[in-house]
Amino acid sequence: MQMGFLLGGILVMYEFHNFLRPILLLMYSFWIPQIITNVVRDSRKFLHPHYILGISVTRLTIPLYIFGCPHNFMRIEPDQNWCICLIVFIGLQASILLLQHYLGSRWFIPRQILPEKYSYYRRFDHDTDHSTDCVICMTAIDLTQRSTDCMVTPCEHFFHSVCLQRWMDIKMECPTCRRPLPPA
């Protein structure tokens, strides 16, 4: 099976050698589906920055050798402009992914067209000094503290911010009643 793909790839490259650059540009759009998936799912911190940079650099080595080295095994004439364009193209994709990691997956979409997001840090009605327990860590939650220390689900259950964020990284449902939770 693998040998068939290898021979098929060599045959395609031989037959379509005049279209090698557009085919290569299409093949090196490998980060674009990840960028789109992050926007659609509103993912946060999906890939580690070292992974993004490492994959981008290692995948550039073969085309830079083929189109940049004057004595390459395919005897293709070196083209520095094509190498620069490919580096910029991959660098742009990697930059968007890194910015998605640090600024949020939808940082480049105007706020006016984004859907309304649920605020887990919303103000909640509480009696004088009412406290409740976090069912994740089983410790008391002081509702009189800062609003960033406590998160409230749509089903009105209270949790420590750290606890619920860790929980939501694994499962997007309320730990108490198992209702689905909206993205944070």
Query: Could you list the mean pLDDT of each consecutive 10-residue stretch along the chain, which spans 184 residues?
Result: 78 77 87 90 82 94 86 79 93 94 86 80 58 81 72 86 86 88 78
Tokens matching residue 33: 């589906």
The reported pLDDT for the residue numbered 33 is: 94
Token reading at 7: 């021979």
pLDDT for the residue 60: 92
Distance from first CA to last CA of the chain, Å, rounded?
Answer: 44
Report the pLDDT value the prediction gives residue 127, as an integer from 0 to 100. 53
Q: What pLDDT shows up at residue 128?
A: 40
What is the structure's pLDDT at 117? 79
Q: Looking at residue 129, what is its pLDDT?
A: 47
Structure confidence at residue 184 (pLDDT): 67
- The pLDDT of residue 161: 86
Q: At what angle do helices 20-27 and 80-103 cross, to 10 degrees?
A: 10
Strands (E), 113-179: 131-133, 140-142, 150-152, 158-160
Half-sphere CA count of 137, side-chain side, radius 13 A:
15
pLDDT for 66 equals 82
What is the reported pTM? 0.65
